[in-house]
Amino acid sequence: MTAAGLEVRDLSVEFGGVRAVAGVTLSFAPGSIVGILGPNGSGKTTLLDVVSGQLRPTSGSVHLDGEDLIDYLPEDRAALGLIRSFQDCRLYPELTVEETLLVAEDGRRRVGLSATSLWLPSARRAEATKRRAVGELLAAFGLGSFRHCRIDQLSTGTRRVVDLASIIAARPRLLLLDEPTAGIAQREAEALGPVLRALHTETGATVVMVEHDVPMAAGLCDALVVMETGRVVSAGATDRVLADPVALEAYLGATDEALRRSGAIAAGRSGKVRARRQL
């Protein structure tokens, strides 16, 4: 499956008298990795909610490869390859890691009830294929030692990796990640960067990631978008945004040490995203 291009046009979301997103226009190139940064309440997660279909905008539109998604339900968007993860890993706590990945594979490799009940050759072949795919995921994400562990026995960081492995089974073309490092230890957060890059390499998907970890976003993303009070204040290639005084004042300048680390990581990087400011 090919990576999808995403465009949001003049997007606004209002809750009563509060404007959570205010006239945002952005365009993301297929295959790019884009980080969305900003303080709490800046509209980052609301933007993902609209793109994924969890929330209908007050005005504006969302386009996937030029197709208007405004009337598509979340499951319809998922069928097009638009996959969303959440801050809290929504996994079944009583299942093992292997069982969790098998459930994810079941969603993509459906077998008829009769074939499964009678254990027909087609069902046996499908089951063998799913187990091979799960074995490959366990190996690719370093989860082999956790194969038979229940989800509720895992650390937050390991659950996050299981969640990402499950995402691959959905064959995403556009992947929306909502704060993948939220709630995990610093060492696990540092280890998550290579996992996310491996996920991008494996799927080839366009990745849009809301994140507070500036150094990780700077090292991973082709481009950054900085939001404040529902508006885009800076957008473009990572090194350019990190040097933008408006972005520094809005968010990045809040932690000088993080900014220094980010600048060192992102030096010389070229952007792959076309992002436009809309104030």
Contact 265, 215 (CB under 8 A): yes
* Predicted pLDDT at 118: 58
Q: What percent of the chain has pLDDT over 70?
A: 83
pLDDT category at 139 given cuts 50, 70, 90 is confident
pLDDT above 60: residue 57: yes
Per-residue model confidence as pLDDT tens digits over 80-115: 999 988 766 678 889 999 998 888 887 665 656 665
- Cα 216 from Cα 220, distance rounded (Å): 6
Tokens 């087609």 correspond to 122
Helix H or strand E segment including 25: strand 18-28
Average pLDDT, the chain: 82
* Of the candidate ranges 44-53, 72-81, 260-269, the one whose mean pLDDT is the lowest: 260-269
What's the pTM? 0.78
176 strand-pairing partners: 84, 208
Q: From 70, 56, 74, select the one nearest 13 (Cα to Cα).
A: 56
Does 264 score more than 70 pLDDT?
Answer: no
Q: What percent of the chain has pLDDT over 90?
A: 42
H or E, element range at 228? strand 223-228
Distance CA 116, CA 94 (A): 23
pLDDT level of residue 69 (50, 70, 90 thresholds): very high
Distance of CA 67 to the CA centre of its chain: 20
d(CA 31, CA 37): 19
Which pLDDT does position 240 carry in this prediction? 93
Q: How confident is the model at residue 181 (pLDDT cuts 50, 70, 90)?
A: confident
Beta 174-178 vs 82-84: how paired, if at all? parallel
* pLDDT, greater one: 124 or 46: 46
Mean per-residue pLDDT, 141-154: 90
What mean pLDDT do residues 54-59 have? 94
Query: In this predicted structure, what is the pLDDT of residue 109?
Result: 59
Average pLDDT over residues 157-169: 84
Q: How far apart are CA 12 and CA 231, in angstroms?
A: 9
Name the residue with higher pLDDT: 176 or 118: 176
What is the CATH architecture assignment of 6-81+171-266? Answer: 3-Layer(aba) Sandwich (3.40)
Q: Summarize the confidence of residues 236-248 as an average pLDDT.
A: 91
pLDDT tens digit sequence for 198-221: 888 888 899 999 988 888 898 899
The answer on pLDDT for 73 being more than 70 is yes
Residue 235 has pLDDT above 90, yes or no: yes
Distance CA 56, CA 73 (A): 10
Residues β-bridged to residue 28: 6
Given a cut of 90, whether residue 77 has pLDDT beyond it is: yes
pLDDT at 267 (0 to 100): 42
Closest CA to 97 of 67, 50, 55, 141: 141
Whether residue 29 is predicted with pLDDT greater than 70 in this model: the reply is: yes
Report whether 218 contacts 238 (CB < 8 A).
yes
- Using only the alpha carbons of the chain, give its radius of gyration: 20
The 3-state DSSP class for residue 126 equals helix
Question: How is residue 118 written in tokens?
Answer: 């009678």
Tell me: pLDDT of 259 over 80: no
Could you tell me the residue ranges of all domains in the chain?
6-81+171-266
Average pLDDT over residues 45-52: 94
Strand partners, 207: 33, 175
pLDDT band at 273 (very low <50, low <70, confident <90, very high): very low
